Structure 1
């Protein structure tokens, strides 16, 4: 648990006890820490644990003394199974402080801790929530643009040298876009509920910021949908090209096999122990070779006319 508060100088300071207007940031707390925080802050343990449950869905819950907001945030997959995944970020709003709970350290919160967000004050709790959500939508857009750039680079590599690993990488990017689309739709429901909450719309500036967050989230949803469609069609197109190339190679190999079978049949015919043409000719081998070459040329011409090569 780390506690921050904005002082008179407008900067965030780390403190060691809870004060009014502070921000409590919990990153992957263990059970004993959750128990201590629950008693200290008068918040149910089960409610605090929502932020460390990777399967938790975005939602809003209003309790007697606090409000819980859970949204999905994008992160780069550290385990390497996928390019990007989404995890829940829990925001607990009380009359005294604001608390964030997350299972992993994320850049989104680090931006606030290091003062990279303008006009951020821990005591402006409603504004802080909206700034978090706006910054979260910005991260979605940032990662979506990154996916678009990377997919274009992979496509150019596939045009020159098709490899299975590149196609599989496109598949992983497509999965990331599916995660993003699902998370953004869930976040949209949360934002729409917040739009109806009088507490969020208490100040005109906050209402306008919330509307900006909704617009940013919708833009991210549209981008994710478009990129997912483009990426899926591109991957299918390259898979079809690979399949077509394989068919072409098999067709050529079949044609070569047929042409090579012609001299084999002729030599097999003249190898039989029965009376045959040129049997008593000293230059029989030359005649047989000439006949074989003629048949090969005829077969080659026929294959070219049939566009087998």
Structure 2
């Protein structure tokens, strides 16, 4: 999917086409076809490798600089249908005339920049728009981390009442999501630090013009990213300890069940042994008595009660 937008000074966002492409436009490419990449590359004279960089879902965040363009590859958070969280590479290419974004999927980070919110951004202010995208990505990390925190609290409450496999699997899914977030936030932090260092690079001025408010916005992005990274580390430790705790509880519950079953087996063995002795096809005591069954049953019952009491005193029940 290929969409082209351009902001106007008074606020509205206009959708353009390849034939009406203007300076200051934002070219948004989602799940591109080879034809779309080729057309955009020819019109903007951007390196083909820049446009294809976000098509590898394992690509890590980094910055590439050419003479007339700079490519910032960052990882943005997404929610999967199965309830887990993941990250996707997003390539933001800034040239003297345009800003181009390339991603494998439609993400909530870029979906925020629409006609409804057009008054909050300007596509022709490329540096600020770049930092606004990065800031929105950091805020979505924080939002998803709060959701993960709520889900972990709910899982903990459920596990207190029942040790179901479904809850354990949810816990593992959240741990996996935090692992993805941790790796992405670390690499994103390195990119942000490099962007801060590049503000004094004169060769970057044609593509990235830093104004005072832009530097303040970049500092906000760095702060939000650091906060998200700290939250990921904290939640990862909490979930790891939670998993260890409930693993110990499950093991302890299993031991309790096995102890109970062992005690029941001992109690059942007593009448079994007695009945087996008196059931042998040889002369045995009370074999001629009409009350033999009652006596044997009473003896077995008394022994079971005595043995049960001793096991109870030893906390076997």
TM bracket, shorter-chain basis = over 0.9
- Counterpart position of 1:280: 288
The question of whether the paired residues in 2 share the 8 Å contact of 1:74 and 1:87 is answered with yes
The question of whether the paired residues in 2 share the 8 Å contact of 1:25 and 1:100 is answered with yes
The question of whether the paired residues in 1 share the 8 Å contact of 2:62 and 2:73 is answered with yes
- Counterpart position of 2:112: 111
The question of whether the paired residues in 2 share the 8 Å contact of 1:266 and 1:292 is answered with yes
- Counterpart position of 2:225: 217
- Of residues 50-59 and 135-144 in structure 1, the stretch that sits farther from structure 2 once superposed is 50-59
What is the Cα deviation at residue 277 of structure 1? 2.3
- Counterpart position of 2:6: 5
Separation in 1, partners of 2:115, 2:184? 26
Separation in 2, partners of 1:9, 1:195? 30
- What TM-score do the two structures reach when normalised by structure 2? 0.93
What is the Cα deviation at residue 202 of structure 1? 2.6
What is the Cα deviation at residue 208 of structure 1? 1.1
Separation in 1, partners of 2:276, 2:210? 96
* Paired residues for 1:1-309 under 5 Å: 1-16=2-17, 17-78=20-81, 80=82, 83-116=84-117, 119-198=120-199, 199=205, 202-309=210-317
Contiguous gaps of at least 5 residues in structure 1:
none
What is the Cα deviation at residue 223 of structure 1? 0.5
Q: Secondary structure at the match of 2:77?
A: strand
Q: 1:118 to 1:151 in 2, by over 3 A?
A: farther
Q: CA RMSD in A?
A: 1.4
Q: 1:180 to 1:117 in 2, by over 3 A?
A: farther
Separation in 1, partners of 2:210, 2:295? 102
- What TM-score do the two structures reach when normalised by structure 1? 0.96
Q: Secondary structure at the match of 1:165?
A: helix
- Counterpart position of 2:202: none
Contiguous gaps of at least 5 residues in structure 2:
200-204
CA displacement 1:93-125 (0-9 Å, x = unmatched) = 011111111110111111112343753111110
The question of whether the paired residues in 2 share the 8 Å contact of 1:255 and 1:303 is answered with yes
The question of whether the paired residues in 2 share the 8 Å contact of 1:97 and 1:123 is answered with yes
The question of whether the paired residues in 1 share the 8 Å contact of 2:11 and 2:118 is answered with no
Give the count of matched residue pairs. 307
- Of residues 6-15 and 95-104 in structure 1, the stretch that sits farther from structure 2 once superposed is 6-15
Separation in 2, partners of 1:307, 1:224? 43
Separation in 2, partners of 1:284, 1:248? 38
Separation in 2, partners of 1:288, 1:41? 99
What is the Cα deviation at residue 150 of structure 1? 1.2
The question of whether the paired residues in 2 share the 8 Å contact of 1:195 and 1:201 is answered with no
